[in-house]
Structure 1
Amino acid sequence: MSIRIVVIGAGFGGLGAVHALTQAGLTDVTVLERADEVGGVWRDNTYPGAACDVPSPLYSWSWAVNPGWTRRYARQPEILDYLRGTAERAGLLAHVRTGVEVTALSYDEAECVWHVETADGTTYDAEVVVSAVGQLSNPAIPRLPGAETFAGPAFHSAQWRHDVDLRGARVAVVGTGASAIQLVPGIVDDVAAMTVFQRSAPYVIPKPDQGYRPVHHRAFERFPWLLAAERRSWFWLTELYNAALGGVSPVSRPLLATVRAVWRLTLRRQVTDPELRRRLVPEYRLGCKRLLFSNDWYPALARDHVDVVTDAVAEVEPGGVRTADGRLHEADVLIWGTGFAATEFLAPMRVTGVGGADLHDLWRDGARAHLGMSVPGFPQLFCIYGPNTNLGGSSIIAMMEAQAGYVAEVARRLADGGPRALAVRPEVAQAYDREMQSRLRRSAWAGCDNWYADGTRITTNWPGLVDEYRARTAHVDWDELEDVAR
């Protein structure tokens, strides 16, 4: 039996899913990508200094290790080249249709198929739908009074305006997250003045970066086990940190204490002004947000023409940004370094399942999915990088590869004449969700400000090791699923 599969999104998650599906002998796979090119976050984030905070040997597909990385922490252009080149050589791009935005998914119970609606009015039918839009695809821009009145260029870091000349300009950067700590040092030498608006200071420690010389490349090509050993070493080092965050390791406290000591020493050495140093101390405990790596963030903020403002942003005016203390911070260019709507999974698509159930209505108090992939009443709809699969450390590609393998196993059974409409059992999904939230309450994330307002739910993070997740998804437990076909 031939089954049709639609994958939404052509980044690492979507293209990795195509690889797993085609390796399982499933060839009727169509990838719908709303942009004009593949690449996901590495296509969109082209701001100065954009790079990965995961070592390159680990931040790559396991089936396509790359001995030619130029740096341990690759920069955006090189990662995008790797993604596109690897996908082309593996024949994955033949499945991709670009410039196609999915607007709605609706399940047809009579036919046991999903109707995938697109912005141009075309509808694709598929037995299996894989959403690989990720958690970092929709920029989050605060709804501030007067934002539309700003007189100069204003843009998000993921929508960088390369036509805007920053030389000699007064630049306001709102946000101090993972993108901001790269773009601020990337433009600090060009601007006349910079104001960085900080809601909460991040923990930043040195990045152990280095360039790979030709001798490294020759060694990696001649002795593949060397590259495998580096990949494995970084994996277990990041797993150790994941264990510390999850509170499941006897070294959790001493390891987090060590990381905190490194951060404190770095801050003290790189920022000599005690008042600025005070403003750069996080008000939350280590682990509440992703640990950031940079060798030039603190030195950039310590420059004479840079001002770090911790007063809340109240409104935007034509001439700049006004803070809650009433002060107007004049600016010629406004850059939003405010991250992404990471908790708005599958948005803005409308998703309707069995009995007309609205997925976003079911998720109104926070998204949840069994193994981060599937929801009761939504047969054969899978999320790659879905709820509770994000990591405090390590490479998300390993999580996405595990999910892709799981999806391929389910799809293969359907193609072999199995049940027509497989969905996770409600009691299984509920038990899994209770486990996740219980473990998260005991983790480093408990009580952090990324919990929902009711103080009970984290929707993004995975509480354990990558290795545990891979073990739990290595083979489908068919007893967890049920046939919901009429």
Structure 2
Amino acid sequence: MKQSPDAAYPSIVIIGTGFGGLGMAIQLKTAGIGSFVMLEKAQGVGGTWRDNTYPGAACDVQSHFYSYSFEPKHDWSRKFGLQPEILGYMQHCVEKYDLADHIRFNKEVANAVFDDATNTWTVTTADGDSFTADMVITATGQLNQPAWPSIPGMETFAGKMFHSARWDHDHDLNGKNVAVIGTGASAIQFVPEIVPRVKSLTLFQRSAAWVLPKPDRPFYPWEQTLFQRIPAWDRLYRYLIYWKNESRALAFTRFNSLLEIFAWQARRFAKSEVRNPDKLRQLIPDYKIGCKRILISNDWYSAVDQPHVNLVTTGIERIVEDGVITTDGAVHKVDTIIVGTGFAASEFLSPMKITGRNGVSLNQAWANGSEAYKGITVSGFPNLFMLYGPNTNLAHNSIVYMLESQFRYILSCIRTLQQKPGVAMEVKPERLRDFSATIQQKLQTSVWESGCHSWYLDSNGKNTVNWPGFTFTYRKATRQVDTHDYKFLQPSG
């Protein structure tokens, strides 16, 4: 997409077609900006909702709030959307807003390089294609790279092994002896689905999860009709969900003791569902609730309580041809291993190589941990904008709300650039430094710093993932760009 004299300015490459990429594209089109191309590594849109097709895959944010405010869906089948319905919603958005012509499928981005002479980015894909544009917007998400555990002997296993984010639907689990490694958000959903089908299930748990009941049910037809015929009711329902979720931010970020109410509820729930006293003891976490992601499920405890489910909390030593050996020497013979160890959430934009001014790569700039101004821009990388970047994840509300705040901020930046054709904008190092220091300072009082090991923390123990406050404060901070935060660079060529 090389810019020609009559091309609209600026030309834009969007990387990814999940909720971030599609929503940004819709906002660009709505604003009359059509000079963009979307690069998608897979054969279809949907991001994590395309990839995670495991049995029981669903959202833990309410359906009406896990959708764009500018594209409400009135006929959600359930209070919490299931994977096929969420993916269908995203495909509907592509069709309604005519995005298909902008998308290039099977174009995995290998690298992006900024050219000081022309103030443009050249984005190269794994198959050798290149796209040159004035701006790059990354929308790769935080849950797109499956995290595989480093266990000796994995390559020697003679049976079937796959990651839950790459579910093998051709492999029949009926009557199989199955091992599941990990008890996080994915396992919580697929384990209850496969328990009735397998001969035995050995569940390897490194640490227990806090699990609360999921207030889920199908919507009644009259409710869907009400949403459709009275748009104000749909808006009010969404508004009520927002404030119900938002009220929990104080507990996560400031007054952690408030979370003990949820801990009491989780313990009570577990005791009512689990009859096996040994399993019950192992299923109650020993860390402060909220330090890791709180999970919601109505059938997790009852599934693990089944007699043919073996809960193993001893560490895994190695994998052998016919099973798993734990550190106590026990051999657990299985013919299928499902890895449910989540994603490399703190490895932003991996495995792409992004090179900014003076040949500095993003990996070099982030040697001490990922950071971005308002989670969106990085010093040394002009005209590079991130959606769902560092410290913009939430533990209490919908990421779609955060993304919509970022859409507005990036549009504001585009409007600024349109007034200065050929110029590139780069956040001032001191603005980024001060912002990052404030974020880390606020995180010190959060429950995520209470001592557990979670995917919120990078390899150095730094929380580069979560936003330490209310979403409405983030929205206010991203209402529009303050040009004093940026320096504007003329092409050097």
What TM-score do the two structures reach when normalised by structure 2? 0.95
Deviations 1:440-471 (A, max 9, x none): 0111111332344555x211011011111111
> In the alignment, which of 362, 374, 379 is matched to residue 376 of structure 1?
379
Give the whole-Å Cα distance in 1 for the aligned partners of 2:235 and 2:278: 45
Post-superposition shift, 1:232?
A: 1.1
1:93 positional shift:
2.5
Distance 1:194 1:96 in 2: 42
Between the aligned partners of 1:254 and 1:322, the Cα distance in structure 2 is 39
2:4 aligned partner: none
How far does residue 418 in structure 1 lie from its aligned partner after superposition?
5.2
Quote how far apart the aligned CAs of 1:286 are: 1.1
What's the CA shift string for 1:327-359, capped at 9, x where partnerless? 111111100000001011011111110111111
Aligned-residue offset at 1:254: 5.7
Identify which of 46, 58, 64 aligns with 2:53: 46
Tell me, yes or no, if structure 1 residue 221 matches structure 2 residue 228. yes
Q: Give 3-state SS (helix, strand or coil) of 1:279's partner.
A: helix
3-state DSSP class of the match of 2:473?
helix
- The counterpart of 2:453, out of the listed 449, 453, 473, is 449
Say whether the 8 Å CA contact 1:405–1:474 is kept in structure 2: yes
Q: Could you say which residue in structure 2 is the equivalent of 1:464? A: 469
> In structure 2, what is the equivalent of residue 295 of structure 1?
298
Structure 1 match to 2:67: 60
Q: In the alignment, what sits opposite 1:440? A: 443
Which residues in structure 2 correspond to 1:21-36 (within 5 Å)? 21-36=28-43
Distance 2:286 2:120 in 1: 49
Deviates more, 1:128-137 or 1:446-455: 446-455
CA shift, 1:22, in A, is 2.0
1:473 to 471, 478, 482: 478
Take 2:232 and 2:250, find their aligned partners in 1: how far apart are those partners? Answer: 26
Report the CA distance between 1:253 and its aligned residue. 4.6
Q: 1:286 aligns with which of 285, 289, 297?
A: 289
Tell me, yes or no, if the aligned pair for 2:316 and 2:326 is still in contact at 8 Å. Answer: yes
Moved more, 92-101 or 389-398: 92-101
Q: Does 1:196 align with 2:199?
A: no
Q: Name the CA distance, whole Å, in 1 between partners of 2:43 and 2:160.
A: 24
User: Helix, strand or coil for the counterpart of 2:400?
Assistant: helix
Q: Which residue of 2 aligns with 1:97?
A: 104
Partner AA of 2:465 in structure 1: T
The structural deviation recorded for 1:395 is: 0.7
Q: Which amino acid aligns with 2:44?
A: E
Q: Is the 8 A contact 1:242 1:391 kept in 2?
A: no
Tell me the distance in 2 between the aligned counterparts of 1:47 and 1:377: 40
Distance 1:74 1:16 in 2: 18
Contact map agreement 2:256 2:446 (CA 8 A) in 1: no
The gaps in structure 2 that reach 5 residues or longer are 1-7
The 3 A distance-change label for structure 1 pair 142 and 254 is closer
Q: Which runs of 5+ in 1 are unaligned?
A: none
Residues 1:409 and 2:412 aligned together: yes
1:77 correspondence with 2:81: no
- Is 1:17 equivalent to 2:20 in the alignment? no
Distance across 2 between alignment mates of 1:452 and 1:69: 36
Other-structure match for 1:359: 362
**Per-residue deviation, residues 378-428 of structure 1 (Å, max 9, x unmatched):** 001111111101111211111111111111111122123356110100000
Residue 24 of structure 1 contacts residue 412 of structure 1 at CA under 8 Å; is this kept in 2?
Answer: no
SS at match of 1:218: helix
Q: Which position in structure 2 is the counterpart of 1:234?
A: 241
Which deviations, in whole Å up to 9, do the C-alpha atoms of 1:288-326 show, x marking residues without a partner?
A: 112111000000000000011111111111101111111
Contact (CA 8 Å) 2:159, 2:336: kept in 1 or not? yes
The answer to whether the 8 Å contact 1:26/1:412 transfers is no
Does the CA contact (< 8 Å) of 1:45 and 1:157 recur in 2?
A: yes
Q: 1:127 aligns with which of 134, 138, 155?
A: 134
2:5 is matched with none
Over the residues paired in the alignment, what is the CA RMSD in angstroms? 1.2
Q: What residue identity is the alignment partner of 1:20?
A: Q
Which letter does structure 2 place at the counterpart of 1:217? Q
Q: Please show how residues 329-368 of structure 1 align to structure 2 within 5 Å.
A: 329-368=332-371
Does the CA contact (< 8 Å) of 2:9 and 2:421 recur in 1?
A: no
Secondary structure at the counterpart of residue 179 of structure 1: helix
Give the whole-Å Cα distance in 2 for the aligned partners of 1:228 and 1:326. 57
Given that 1:378 and 1:423 are in contact with CA atoms closer than 8 Å, whether structure 2 keeps it comes out as yes
Select which of 297, 316, 320 maps to 1:317: 320
Q: Please, what TM-score do these two structures have when normalized by structure 1? A: 0.97
Q: Once the two structures are superposed, what CA deviation does each residue of 1:9-67 show, in whole Å capped at 9, x if it has no partner?
A: 00101101111222222111100000001111111100000011111011000101111
3-state DSSP of counterpart to 1:322: strand
Q: Does the aligned pair in 2 maintain the 1:141–1:338 contact within 8 Å?
A: yes
Q: Are 2:432 and 1:429 aligned?
A: yes
Check conservation: 2:256, 2:447, Cα contact below 8 A: no
Aligned pairs for 1:141-290 within 5 A: 141-247=148-254, 252-253=255-256, 255-290=258-293
Deviations 1:198-238 (A, max 9, x none): 11111100000011121111111111222222211111111
Identical positions, percent: 44
The count of aligned residue pairs is: 481
| Contact 1:57–1:231, Cα closer than 8 Å, also in 2 | yes
Secondary structure (helix, strand or coil) at the match of 2:91 reads helix
SS of residue matched to 1:210: coil
Distance 2:229 2:123 in 1: 47
Give the counterpart of 2:395 among 392, 395, 399: 392
Whole-angstrom CA distance in 1 between matches of 2:145 and 2:168: 17
Whichever residue aligns with residue 375 of structure 1, its letter is: V
The one-letter code sitting in structure 2 at the alignment partner of 1:409 is: S
Checking the alignment, whether the CA contact within 8 Å between 1:419 and 1:483 is kept in structure 2 is no
Per-residue deviation, residues 103-155 of structure 1 (Å, max 9, x unmatched): 00110000000010111111100111011011000100012111011111100
- Give the conservation status (yes or no) of the 8 Å contact 1:13–1:134: yes
Q: Distance in 2 between matches of 1:119 and 1:416?
A: 34
1:266 partner amino acid = F
Structure 1 SS opposite 2:86: helix
Q: Secondary structure at the match of 1:243?
A: helix
